[in-house]
Amino acid sequence: MGHWVKRTARAYWDIPSTLSRPNAWRKCPSGILRPMFVNLWYLLALFVFCVCSSDAAYTCARERGGELGTGDADLNQNAWGVQFRLEQYINEGDLTERFGDDPNDVPPMATAPFSARQATLYQNKWAEFYSTTVEKRNSLDMELRLVPPGTYRRGGEQSSERVHQRWGGRKEWYEREHPVHRVKLTRGFFMATTPVTQQQWKKLMGTTVKEQRDKENRSMWLAGQGEDHPMYYVSWNEAVKFCEKLTERERRLGNIKQHQRYRLPTEAEWEYATRAGTDSAFHAGDEEESLERVGWYLGNSERSTRPVGRLAGNAWGLRDLHGNVNDWCLDWYGEYSQDPAVDPEGPGEGAMRVVRGGSFIGIAGYCRSAFRNRAHPDRRFNGVGFRVVLEVYFSPGSRREKGGRNDCH
């Protein structure tokens, strides 16, 4: 290549001066200019070659390692060992404004589909970046697990007609799962591993499940009582109040920062956390037998709620996501758009709030990861409870100071 560059440069230098060479060039000593222009040509050709080579390597790596390096390559590198940069995963400015301009230490976003082993790697890498732990426990003895930033396809991959044929139920309800679209969540969060229990509710709010039932309708039946049973007969408004009181309690005890808060998960966070890298009907698989291993539903619940945390969890370490009780979500209910979404929080207003997950009296089709339901925020039901998320806190200072780690909790 060097020989070709030098020959090209020599040919250019020997062209007739009447064509386009400036007169000043002809007057300058050739012994000075010729070596200089040969070097310039050589550097220019080398630059073009490097640019083309790196682009080809990047394209090949994307094909081999997946869009965000989730193939056989290490999570921090693509298949060619090229370091991915932050702007390929996270909106520019979302994290770089807080931690500086160098994104090289930021782990890649978890991009579904990925395996349980990769989910653990994502959790550990982001926990290290946040200077926190993967697992937390608060003053109500709630266990929470870190869910790192990531992207996934939200909604039902199969048509509502096919889902209805497979699972039964109401076909029009399955139509709510469409259109499927890409969702990106740029902020990690901690999610409770189980729904709020009756013991945790009473400790903070002071009422029993029976007293909550009586607020709604005394004639309605109680679907399981016990300290470790999920709390139900809780309206969306009351669930939000619980989160507010828990935030105040934890701040007062010094367990969280002043800018942190407990809240309900958004619908996008709920489905992302439930799927945990999977694209199957349930996080454990596509068959009803897989649901029986991870969720209490009409087929195995004996028409009663069950103590939380008794069945297998998903790759993030979360349990009771399919069945037992539905979870209230933060969003107003609204139809999906086919456009990609970043940190969606639903429409700005509406009449009903989203509930997800299915319940102990729901058929298997209503317990799928993609299934959507809705309810009035002031109503209470024996099949609807909730779980909380805790926002990850970032300090506004530098990410690295004197070799230390960022102040995140």
Q: What is the mean pLDDT of residues 30-42?
A: 54
Q: What is the pLDDT of residue 48?
A: 57
Which range has the worst mean pLDDT, 101-105, 132-136, 300-304? 101-105
Which range has the worst mean pLDDT, 6-15, 42-51, 222-231? 6-15
pLDDT tier at 49 (50, 70, 90 boundaries)?
Answer: low
Q: What is the mean pLDDT of residues 142-161?
A: 97
Q: What is the mean pLDDT of residues 39-62?
A: 53
Average pLDDT, rounded, for the chain: 81
pTM equals 0.74
User: Residue 61 and residue 64: Cα distance in Å, rounded?
Assistant: 5
pLDDT at 138 over 80: yes
Higher pLDDT, 171 or 67: 171
Q: How far is CA 92 from the centre of its chain?
A: 17
Higher pLDDT, 90 or 264: 264
Longest dimension (CA), the chain: 105
pLDDT at 85 over 50: no
Helix (H) or strand (E) holding 391: strand 389-391
**Ranges of H-type helices in 66-187:** 96-99, 116-130, 160-167, 171-174
pLDDT tier at 45 (50, 70, 90 boundaries)?
Answer: low
Higher pLDDT, 121 or 61: 121
Q: pLDDT tens digits for 356-404?
A: 999 999 999 999 999 999 999 999 999 999 999 999 975 534 343 333 3
- The domain made up of 116-391 has a fold known as paralog of FGE (formylglycine-generating enzyme) (3.90.1580)
Nearest-CA neighbor of 356 among 388, 325, 310?
Answer: 325
Q: pLDDT tens digits for 252-306?
A: 999 999 999 999 999 999 999 999 999 999 999 999 999 999 999 999 999 999 9
Which range has the worst mean pLDDT, 3-12, 314-323, 397-406? 397-406
**Ranges of H-type helices in 145-191:** 160-167, 171-174
Give backbone dihedrals phi and psi of 115, rounded to 5 degrees, phi first.
-85, 170
pLDDT at 58 over 60: no
pLDDT at 193 over 70: yes
Burial tier of 167 (Cβ tally within 10 Å: 0-12, 13-18, 19+): middle
Whether 213 contacts 233, CB under 8 Å: yes
Domain locations along the chain: 2-65, 116-391
* Percentage above 70 pLDDT, the chain: 71
Q: What is the pLDDT of residue 393?
A: 74
